[in-house]
Amino acid sequence: MDYRQEYQRWLERVTDAELLEELGHMDEAAMEDAFFRDLAFGTGGLRGVIGAGTNRMNVHTVGKASQGLAAYLKKRFAAPSAVIGYDSRLKSDVFARVTAGVLAANGVQVHFWPQLTPVPTVSFATRYLGASAGVMITASHNPARYNGYKVYGADGCQVTVDAAAEILSEIETLDLFDGVRQEDFDACLRDGRISLIPDEVLTAFLEAVKAQSVLFGEEARKDIAIVYSPLNGTGYVPVTRALRELGYTRLTLVEEQRLPDGRFPTCPYPNPEIREAMELGISYADQCGADLLLATDPDCDRVGVAVRGPSGGYVLLSGNETGLLLLDYLCAQRAKHGRMPADPVMIKTIVTTDMAERIAAHYGVKTINVLTGFKFIGEQIGLLEAQGRRDSYVFGFEESYGYLSGPYVRDKDGVGAACLICEMFSYYSSRGITLPDRLNELYRTYGYCLNTLHSYAFDGSAGFARMQSVMQALRAGVASFGTRKVLRVLDYAEGLDGLPKSDVLKFILADGSTLVVRPSGTEPKLKLYLSVSAESREAAEKAEADLLRSAEAMLR
């Protein structure tokens, strides 16, 4: 693509005043970055910076993706239909209406969530309403300047590698100005080609969430003081409603982050994985003496947790730590009450702590490892269901704060996870046990394991090329990371252990540590996942810092 020619074409064809203004202020570097490629469509759909250009999220790139999706659906379904939802991000509602208008214009019946809604409700509604597909307009936990377009199959799972490739092949045949058929949203709503999803679907989703409880009649003190922040996203209504219906009434909301606001004014990076996004909630918890702090990301599929530390203040639990605690709690309760299925399964990603396998094995639960991305966990649930083993699924999680305790949806669910975290906290609290206490007991039983994630930005076309160069250099051969010899390299580029192809490298080192390198599928970032086992946290942190220094030297 000649980016200058494409830029000129946009100047001539675009009618949107906001996009035209941005085009008019572009310098050469901005022009190249906006037009040097088409925004990539993969198993994660689309994700990118909002703005003008083929490498941006805007009404034209969204319309083109929707036209390709419509063509794909019409080839596979006699009467195709789709569920559409959107989060609180800038232009999410606009992009959702564009998607609906394109699909409806192409003969796809649209079920449209009438208010912003969490990711898991789109997965749920797709199955509940028997739709052919689902679309969620979201960029998850990215900064405010991002938005995205996530596609689900009829099974409620994000589209597979093969399906994404087929949709992409349809998209690539289209001109984003002349190849997109679109009709007015309101007109389609009036004539019935678009229908609004009724309240009963949200109620059904929340009932499925509440059914995941594993108390089985046991007591748990539900008068715990909880501070909750939706981080200006979609979690406010469903999370607070579910918790209150479950009996948790001592809820304090972080007021500045309670209502939807795509600017995220108090948390510029609305990701509960990072402390900065949790700071305001921690201050609220400190002021009101809360027992537990929860925060969900803007599309409410991830949950961050903070609890009182043993020496005062609040400590954040990592995604791995929360996942280990939930896995152990769910398995222990099922085992105690005779509710463990005959052939139980736990599913995790290859970058999630290996300690989970040891806990699962203790309870007789089989572990399935999948590629990074919850879509692969959802895919495995679908395979279990096809085998008549739907109830074998016990739990699935990934280190990036995503959890799912039942097969009622096929994506991570922040609503369900928030409810289970509160239940687990209440159960242990009524027995005089804190979550740090229980976590330390797990470490004593299974050995201490430190897992960390480090991200490195590679912006623009030059950054993209540099990121590819780094991966090529690593594949050329690495003998050691500092003093740690590389014993084995797992390269998933051509598929491995039955998993699909993926640009991921996993280095297994002589001291038992592992290092995984993976370019992000949704951001211009390279991610390093380090896992270090040691006798204590202090020893593990020292070893991790040493391993990180040697790994970072290879990125320069």
DSSP calls for 371-431: -SSHHHHHHHHHHHHHTT-GGGEEEEEETTTEEE-STTSSS--HHHHHHHHHHHHHHHHTT
Distance CA 185, CA 195 (A): 10
In 3D, which of 496, 486, 489, 451 has the Cα closest to residue 351?
Answer: 451
| Active-site position among 66, 88, 132, 140 | 140
C-alpha distances (whole Å) from 547 to each of 318, 346, 354, 450 are 20, 29, 18, 12
Q: Which helix (H) or strand (E) holds 277?
A: helix 275-288
Rg (C-alpha) for the chain, rounded Å, is 23
Torsion on CA atoms 137, 141, 146, 151, rounded to nearest 10: -30
140 flagged as catalytic:
yes
Which two tokens mark 125?
A: 């509604």
Distance CA 521, CA 218 (A): 43
Query: Strands, DSSP E only, in 88-130?
Result: 109-112
Distance CA 104, CA 174 (A): 18
Sequence-ordered alpha helix ranges (H) in 431-536 = 435-446, 460-476
Catalytic residue positions, numbered: 140
